[in-house]
A = this chain, B = another copy of it.
């Protein structure tokens, strides 16, 4: 379709594309793939501009070139960022000398400025055009995929993370309710990004959004528009729920005769942008959603999750296979039943497994630790770190193939008790203490009889 009105900024761009030839030749001689060299040249032109007249157009051009690159060319570009857009060694040494002489804030500021790699300014300039922020988030996603243990690329990633930490400051995030009134363009992203319990189609999505006892909230950033950053799915329930299928399959518009809906259950939290890894949103999201729900529904009495235990089965299987001696013989024999894929449909096996699995799950969540005194389970680590309490272990809470495969069907409730959160958080941070319900403590105690202490976890 013909574009009617040629943009003013595009005119500008036209007048500046000619003067690049020299810069281009320079980069090409250094053996970069042609297109990556083009990009480096475009970035250099952008840095040479003083950030004013034509910088939006220049930044747009650089982003366009970047998008056209193959993955290995992108990697070459990242390597060039490390090498060619670093800081000036002499300037650092001079600034350091000055600071050593004065030890004052002025020379400190100059030293700080001298140490900032040039690529940070480059990234800020690439952020000038509309849509630039999302491009940069995706750029970092690729960087994360290709960087491996390369220390240079990791340094580049640190610069991304430094900037994103500033740009995606919680003060800039916007909470929006997601429901059936939400534009389809956003909803299809919710379908795509759901990471915990996959959404099979629009009908499935509707069940999670368009019933009186369901809620969904997401954080958005003004500069990334319709792209959700993270979202949480909530079911309003008459009590703490134990089975996620009951939530996912329900199609009766809840309410029913089960009594007043006193409990908000967070049954899915999904991070949407892999390029924002390490930028923390989840904790803020939970707390703000608790505030929103309290305002809308003053009768809510408790806030709880229904959470997966993604590493339980692997931990359990390793225990069985690598260290069978740590388990008593009866437990070992019982657990063998898990190897029959039909165990889940056999009531007597269920009965036999329920007790041991609940105890071992309590042990896995609350006792098993990795170095640094943090729980083995990442979800446990997240909620306990946020100040939640380990409330209840649910046998066959998730009968989906994924749930059985990763957690033998076990699920867990973490309870957010306003009065406790701060204290729980502090104790967890200080010494790894995990607040648990008496019920979970009992299970742990039983597990201790089933598992031999292992001096080196």
Contact = CB atoms under 8 A, between A and B. Distances in A.
Interface of A: 1-2, 4-5, 7-9, 11-12, 15-16, 50-54, 56, 82, 86-87, 89, 92, 96, 99, 103-106, 108-109, 111-112, 115-117, 124, 127-130, 132-133, 151-152, 154-156, 158-159, 163, 165-167, 169-172, 174, 180-185, 187-188, 201-202, 206, 210, 212-213, 222-223, 236, 254-255, 260-261, 280, 283-284, 287, 290-291, 294-295, 297-299, 385-387, 418-419, 421-423, 425, 429
A109 to B, nearest CB: 5
Contacts of A188: 202, 206
A182 B183 contact: yes
A151 to B, nearest CB: 5
Contact of A419 (B11, B212, B213): B11
A85 to B, nearest CB: 10
Contacts of A183: 180-184
B155 A108 contact: yes
Contact of A106 (B89, B116, B128, B155): B155
Given A52-B386, A111-B115, A105 B151 contact: yes
B297 A1 contact: yes
Contacts of A170: 56, 127-128
Given A12-B421, A158-B109, A183-B181, A50 B171 contact: no
Contact of A166 (B8, B128, B167, B185): B167
Contact of A108 (B86, B180, B291): B86
Given A1-B212, A184-B187, A130 B171 contact: yes
Nearest to A130: B171
Given A171-B133, A171-B223, A8 B418 contact: yes
Contact of A52 (B56, B294, B425): B425
Contacts of A96: 96
A9 B287 contact: yes
Q: How many copies does the complex hold?
A: 4
User: What 4 A-B pairs come out closest when comparing CB atoms?
Assistant: A105-B155, A222-B222, A53-B425, A112-B115
A283 to B, nearest CB: 5
A300 to B, nearest CB: 10
A152 B255 contact: no
A290 B10 CA distance: 12
A6 to B, nearest CB: 8
A251 B297 CA distance: 34
Contacts of A213: 1
A199 to B, nearest CB: 12
A54 B426 CA distance: 10
A294 B425 contact: no
A223 B104 CA distance: 33
Nearest to A134: B171
Contacts of A156: 105
B169 A104 contact: no
B385 A5 contact: no
A337 to B, nearest CB: 41
Contacts of A169: 124, 127-128, 167
Given A112-B115, A112-B117, A169-B124, A106 B154 contact: yes
Contacts of A236: 1
